[in-house]
Structure 1
Amino acid sequence: MAADKPHYHGHRQRLRDRFVKSGLAGFADHEVVELLLTLAIPRSDVKEPAKALIARFGNLRGILDASLDDLRAVPGIGSVTPVALHIIKAAATLYLQQSSEGQDSLADPSRLASLWRMRIGSLPNETFEVAYLDSAYRLLRDGIERLEEGTIDRAAVYPRRVIEAALRRGAFGVLLAHNHPNGAVAPSEHDKLLTRAIVLAAETVSLRVIDHLIVSADASFSFREAGLL
């Protein structure tokens, strides 16, 4: 006689059936995490690890933003699952970027603010990225580039490098973004000086600086909306 299947097999199948029927509607937070864990942990019960992740990091976003070391410290997670969770976040971020490429005008930079909050908002070091736009303010293919990654409070950015990168891409305009790891998105004096320097350098080659966004995991600041650009 064949051995009975472990009790969690039926639970996994019920979770998947619910998702196929109605997406994540009605799922508790830990059930969403359980569903993800079933993709990486095929042969054990994932309910308790899912609840442990929620208890440690608060919600799904906190889990996906957590470092590999912090994830591995949670009982029952192991060493492979943290990598799988990072892949899931990276894939979601790439989806958002590709959804913006070649689509509607991004003259309103707030449309990319959520993308940058996901990409760099929770990083522990200050990171500077640039989006390259065409003359219709649409994001070019593979149109976001990370130019610098620095320390907890500074990334060394050179205006010439920004301009050279934009010219190589054949961009009409650029949208600048960087994160503040401390969570406060108000611009520093250095941020203001850097933005002015990039704008002046861009004007010499008829390149438009659409905006400069500062992001954290929860908030964003627009130089243009604040009248600083």
Structure 2
Amino acid sequence: MAPPGHAEKAPRHHDGHRDRLRERFSTAGEEALADYELLELILFRTIPRKDVKPIAKALLARFGSLAEVLGAPQRRLTEVAGVKDAVALDLKIVAALNRRAMRSAVRQREVLSSWTAVLDYCTAAMAHEAREQFRILFLDKKNALIADEVQGTGTVDHTPVYPREVVRRALELNATAIILVHNHPSGDPTPSRADVEMTRTIIDTAKPLGIAVHDHIIIGKNGHASLKGLRLI
């Protein structure tokens, strides 16, 4: 019984929720949790004494999916009620860890036999960028990844690409093959005529120097397109 004059503190409805959620993740794994609950586990660390379920659900409602929450710019994350700079930073750290892990998986394998891992990494790295990026994966004679570099960032629908610069960089790295990758911020990965023409120009520039262009992948929020798979190169 509480001392006279002392009001008994009402239990908060989220007391114990954090421990139960952590226990469920620990014993049953990630598949036992909804997307908003996985977000809660991250938010627990930055927001220690507050019910974070409404914040997690608001993030998903605002951006549409876990991938888009993690891919959103830090300033846009803070537009959601309850998401301060520290929370947004934590989410961007999680996104960076995810990309690094995927890139490590690509680096440790022969790229052409690990195509799914390559696509997963490129999607995580580029699908939710607000501007076009042009990325090149440089490969050695065994098709192992030498380097992964963003060669340019442009506007929402265009990135300038200079074929001679692409080939020059491949020669500097002693690469014998390259994979071209760029994103379409519109979400639609359908290649444009300019995409195809630029790719063919790079192929024609690289081939006499012994550098193969294995593919040009276009990444969108809703999928990807392969120029080789579409028989456009």
Cα distance in 1, alignment partners of residues 111 and 168 from structure 2: 23
The higher radius of gyration belongs to: 2
Return the offset for 1:217: 1.5
TM-score, normalised with respect to structure 1: 0.90
Count, aligned residues = 225
Greater shift, 123-132 or 158-167, is seen at 158-167
Aligned-pair identity in percent equals 34
Return the offset for 1:4: 11
Corresponding residue for 1:173?
Answer: 177
Cα distance in 2, alignment partners of residues 83 and 107 from structure 1: 35
TM-score, normalised with respect to structure 2: 0.88
Corresponding residue for 2:61?
Answer: 55
Cα distance in 2, alignment partners of residues 136 and 50 from structure 1: 44
CA deviation digits over 1:22-60, x for unaligned, max 9?
Answer: 321211222111011112223332122112222222331
- Counterparts of residues 74-113 of structure 1 (less than 5 Å): 74-106=80-112, 109=115, 111-113=117-119
Instruction: State whether residues 107 and 137 of structure 1, in contact with CA within 8 Å, keep that contact through their aligned partners in structure 2.
Output: no
CA deviation digits over 1:160-186, x for unaligned, max 9?
Answer: 111121122221210000011112222
Corresponding residue for 1:42?
Answer: 48
Query: Quick check: 1:205 aligned with 2:209?
Result: yes
Query: Quick check: 1:145 aligned with 2:157?
Result: no
Greater shift, 191-200 or 4-13, is seen at 4-13
Return the offset for 1:110: 5.0
SS of residue matched to 1:25:
helix
Instruction: State whether residues 106 and 139 of structure 1, in contact with CA within 8 Å, keep that contact through their aligned partners in structure 2.
Output: no
Cα distance in 1, alignment partners of residues 77 and 117 from structure 2: 31
SS of residue matched to 2:151:
strand
Cα distance in 1, alignment partners of residues 42 and 96 from structure 2: 14
Distance 1:88 1:108, change over 3 A: closer
Aligned residue among 167, 172, 185 for 1:163: 167
Greater shift, 10-19 or 218-227, is seen at 10-19
Corresponding residue for 2:130?
Answer: 124
Q: Structure 2 stretches of 5 or more lacking a match?
A: 1-8
The structure showing larger relative contact order (alpha-carbon pairs under 8 Å, at least 6 residues apart) is 1
Q: Structure 1 stretches of 5 or more lacking a match?
A: none
Instruction: State whether residues 107 and 210 of structure 1, in contact with CA within 8 Å, keep that contact through their aligned partners in structure 2.
Output: no
Instruction: State whether residues 179 and 216 of structure 1, in contact with CA within 8 Å, keep that contact through their aligned partners in structure 2.
Output: yes
Distance 1:16 1:102, change over 3 A: same
CA deviation digits over 1:89-115, x for unaligned, max 9?
Answer: 121011111111131342574542222
Cα distance in 2, alignment partners of residues 34 and 80 from structure 1: 15
The two structures, once aligned, show a CA RMSD in angstroms of 2.1
